[in-house]
Amino acid sequence: MSKTAFLFPGQGSQYAGMGKNLADNFSVARHIFEEADDALGFRLSDLCFKGPEEDLKLTSITQPAILAASIAALTVLQKETGISADYVAGHSLGEYSALVCSGAMTFADAVRTVRSRGLFMQEAVPVGVGAMAAMLSIEEDVLTAICEDVAEGEVVSPANFNSPGQIVIAGHATAVNRAIVLAKLKGYRKAMLLTVSAPFHCALMKPAAERLMDVLDCILIQKLSLPVITNVEATANQDAFRVRELLVTQVCSPVRWEQSVNEMINLGVTRFVEIGPGKVLTGLVKRINKDMELVNVEDSTGIRAAA
């Protein structure tokens, strides 16, 4: 019997207007945004619905905003269609949406936690010191060797294994630029710096990980009703006692997205439902395996398509 996985997007999927269609048409979605506003003590909903884009790009705003839009879409999907998942996964920040879906943490706890997580990640490295770059059409072992060759005592390492031929690196800006130069010298010419506020998922995020542990220690992690395919291990976890450790490790470790999708396929998943703003993960799954059924749910049209 074929299985379904719910996927939740991470940073970079945000846009002004996300969630507004659902909030306008479904009271359960409005309630989620109201709960986010109450939990945070400011009008996150206004930033989601109206922007401005510049504010939405601030990591400490982006993370709770995407989480709220994703959980609003999930709540409508479940109420209107009754569709359920066999597995859940999220890209970086999206893992928190997956954990809310699995019942591991409440939405209010999650939205407050990712607000702090975004702030910690933003503050971990001074602006301009770190960088990230997308490296295309390059093999993992070759790129890992390039990073080791150019480090020169600085940090540079793979941060996202997104899909075949798409790996993102992160670290000190000077080391990331050296990696781009060496990759091009070796014939890998498709390399570009990304517009990001910090070098995520590398060793420079260690201060953020340590601060996040203190926040996670204060929230209740409950029994998981669904297995979460984790970014760190790309395997299913349903052990509540491991959730904190995996979320803290995730901040400094690469997101193993390609491996996570392949693991879900190996477990029998044939239908992937991306829930939340944008279609980034749908595009990545398509590049990983063209034979999967793909659905994107971010508005009323997506709800109807998923039914």
Catalytic residue set = 92, 201
Give the Å distances, CA to CA, from 133 to 107, 137, 168, 220: 32, 13, 6, 36
Angstrom CA distances, 288 to 7, 234, 276, 292, stand at: 14, 14, 20, 9
Burial 47-67 (b: 16+ CB within 10 A, else e): bbbebeeeebbebbbbbbbbb
**Residue 167 bridge partners (DSSP):** 135, 161
Q: How far, in Å, CA of 42 to CA of 64, rounded?
A: 12
Residue with tokens 């993102």, as numbered in its chain = 168
Q: State both tokens at 304.
A: 């109807």
At residue 110, φ and ψ (nearest 5 deg) are -65, -45
Structural tokens at position 259: 């491996």
DSSP reduced 3-state for 223: coil
Rounded to whole angstroms, the Cα distance separating 303 from 280 reads 18
Phi/psi at 285 (nearest 5 deg)? -60, -40
Nearest Cα neighbor of 216 from 205, 208, 204, 228 is: 208
Strand 269-275 and strand 293-297: the pairing is parallel
